Amino acid sequence: MRAKQRVLSPKIKLAAVSYLNTKPLLYGIEHSDVINDIEIVLDYPSRLAQSLQEGSIDIALLPVAAIPGISGAHIVSDYGIAADGNVVSVAIFSQVPMEDIETVYLDYQSRTSVRLAQLLLENHWEKKVVYKPATENFIEYINGTSAGVIIGDRALKQLHNFEYVYDLSAAWKDHTGLDFIFAAWVANKPLPADFTARFNAANAEGLKHMDKVIAENPFPYYDLHIYYTDNIKFYLDEQKKKGLARFLELIG
């Protein structure tokens, strides 16, 4: 008599970006038992929405501007990428002051940062500019009256290369008085309650090991201790959610 084969549950496909700002959350996930239930994919933030919409992934650390365009999208964790002032790694970089900027290159890697930049340029700085889609090497073209939105690790590397750096999270705070969520863990289908509870706990656990995360990711361009404990806010409290609701209302 043949033994019954055990049917294995398919792994939950999880996608995130490979930026430094995700490392504490991913550390917690990778060092907990929840890792046995998932398969991790790394990609640009702008591609995650399409993958989630298509169903090729089940959960993503999704740029929040993509949430309204995905049927059934809902936040599944208390943790994400947010700020309540200077975030440092999302900014408009320029060699001239804001009043002299005429053209802005928009970083192709994140829809949220691009929409935030456009909102602030129009409503906070009250600037009319020409927007240009950014190519892979667009940073080379940021000179004269041309500025650019740069995000993530590339932004941290450019902090000392430009005369003017306009932090978008700080500008949002000045403009609205609210915090800002850049990305949240989002699914577009129901996930097992046991999984989401363990997943949430794994995110929280990662934040307890910042020293290990920093040691594993040497980065000479910016102090990661300051970045992880002062600039990035990982817990999405009610203030952060109010900021998210306001942002989605403005871009809706």
Strand bridging mode 90-94 / 164-167? antiparallel
Distance of CA 187 to the CA centre of its chain: 15
The candidate with the shortest Cα–Cα distance to 180, out of 93, 242, 118, is: 242
Tokens found for residue 14: 């999880």
Residue type, 135: T
Exposed / middle / buried, residue 216 (Cβ in 10 Å: 0-12, 13-18, 19+) = exposed
Say yes or no: do domains 12-83+179-251 and 90-176 share a fold.
Answer: yes
**Strand boundaries in 68-212, DSSP class E:** 74-83, 90-94, 103-106, 130-133, 146-151, 164-167, 180-187
* Three-state helix/strand/coil letters over 119-130: HHHHHCCCCCCE
CATH of domain 12-83+179-251: 3.40.190.10
What does the alpha-carbon distance between residue 224 and residue 245 come to, in Å, rounded to a whole number? 29
pLDDT surpassing 60 at residue 1: no
pLDDT tens, 101-157?
Answer: 999 999 877 789 999 999 999 999 999 999 999 888 999 999 999 999 999 999 999
Q: Write down the mean pLDDT value for the chain.
A: 93
> Looking at residue 111, what is its pLDDT?
83
Q: Is 78 helix (H, G, I), strand (E, B) or coil?
A: strand
- Domain ranges in the chain? 12-83+179-251, 90-176
**By the 8 A CB rule, do 83 and 179 touch?**
yes
Q: Directed axis angle between helix 238-251 and helix 111-123, to 10°?
A: 80
Residues of the chain with pLDDT > 70, as a percent, come to: 96
pLDDT surpassing 80 at residue 225: yes
pLDDT tens, 169-199?
Answer: 999 999 999 999 999 999 999 999 999 999 9
What does the alpha-carbon distance between residue 62 and residue 90 come to, in Å, rounded to a whole number? 16
3-state DSSP helix/strand/coil percent for the chain, to nearest 5? 45, 25, 30
CATH of domain 90-176: 3.40.190.10
How much is the pTM? 0.93
What does the alpha-carbon distance between residue 29 and residue 35 come to, in Å, rounded to a whole number? 6
- At a CB cut-off of 8 Å and minimum separation 6, what does 160 contact? none
